[in-house]
Amino acid sequence: MSFGEPIVGVNYIPRESAYAVIFRNPDEIEVATVSRQKGHHMLPRGGIEPGEDHVTCLKREVLEEAGYGIRIGAYIVGQADQYYVTLEGESRLTVGHFYLAEILGKADDAIEELEFSWLSAGKANESLFLNNQAWAVSAALRG
C-alpha cells in the first residue's frame, strides 16, 4: 500500500522504517505520538539501521524519542509506504512497517528533543503528519 504522490523527476531513496502504534485508556482510546514542532505529530518510529530488525529498531527508537521501554506486539496488516517532503524540503520514501506496542515504563530520559503526548484516536487520525501512520492507527483499531 502506498500513500502520497511522488514528484515526477525526483529521485526517492527508500528508507526502511518501523513504527509503534501504542494505545492506552480502553474507555477513550488514546494514541502515543511524538513531535518536533507543535502540531507535527508522528507515531514513535525510526529508520532501521544496518544489522537491526524491526523489533530492535523500535525498542531503541522509543527509548531515544520518549525514554520508555516497550513490548512489541502484533505486526499491523501489511507494509504502508509514504512519499512526502520533510519540513526541511527533503523528498523521502518511507517504507513503513507498523507494530502494536505496549509501554512497560519509563526507562530513561529521552535523548532526542521530541515532545511525547497522547492524542485521542480520532484526533490522532486527523493530526498525524503522514497518511500511512493514520492508516496504521485505523487498521489497528479495526483489529
Is residue 109 scored above 80 in pLDDT? no
Q: Which CATH number fits domain 2-142: 3.90.550.10, 3.40.50.2000, 3.90.79.10, 3.40.1010.10?
A: 3.90.79.10
The answer to whether 37 touches 69, Cβ cutoff 8 Å, is no
Greatest extent of the chain over all pairs of C-alpha atoms, in Å? 47
* Reported pTM: 0.90
Q: pLDDT tens, 40-49?
A: 899 999 999 9
Q: Please state the domain extents for the chain.
A: 2-142
How many C-beta neighbours within 10 Å does residue 28 have?
A: 9
Is residue 88 scored above 90 in pLDDT? no
Q: Rounded to an integer, what distance in angstroms lies between the CA atom of residue 108 and that of residue 135?
A: 30
Q: pLDDT tens, 7-45?
A: 899 988 899 999 999 999 888 899 999 987 776 899 999
pLDDT of residue 103: 94
Distance of CA 20 to the CA centre of its chain: 5
